[in-house]
Amino acid sequence: MNWHPLTSTEQLDEIIAESKETPVVIFKHSTSCSISSTAKSRVERQWNGAGLDHVKAYYLDLLRYRPVSQEVAEVLHVQHQSPQLLLLQDGVCTYDASHMSIGVDALKKKVTA
């Protein structure tokens, strides 16, 4: 799995535009939370071989980039959670999961090829 850092609100606009061409995932991670670390590790383990090579994955350290996290919630019309996995397709969030409900199998079912 290859994470791409999400570090600015301007980058969020680019990611939304990118999702119109290919599915995009944003993983919002709290580096001080053990549940967040567990969810992130589970996604990383399950990602390879899951057939999601066409999905670009972004990583948001929400403690370091709190304003970006707030912008994600506002722009994508999702309630802020931590950890949180968001799937963007065609410029909108089509799936979100948080805490222990984060998993690659459920994500795969929502991704359109």
**Mind listing the pLDDT tens digit for each residue in 28-41?**
999 898 999 999 99
| pLDDT on residue 97 | 94
pLDDT tens digit string along 46-92?
Answer: 998 899 989 999 999 999 999 999 999 999 999 988 899 999 999 99
| pLDDT on residue 1 | 84
List the one residue out of 14, 35, 38 whose CA is nearest residue 88: 14
Give pTM, 2 decimals. Answer: 0.94
Place 112 in a pLDDT band, splitting at 50, 70 and 90.
confident
Identify whether the C-beta of residue 84 lies closer than 8 Å to the C-beta of residue 96: yes
pLDDT of residue 113 exceeding 80 = no
Q: Architecture of domain 3-110 in CATH? A: 3-Layer(aba) Sandwich (3.40)
| pLDDT on residue 48 | 86
Between CA 76 and CA 88 the distance in angstroms is 9
Question: Which single residue is written with the structure tokens 């410029």?
Answer: 91
Given 3-state DSSP classes, what are the helix, strand and coil percentages for the chain, each rounded to the nearest 5? 40, 25, 35
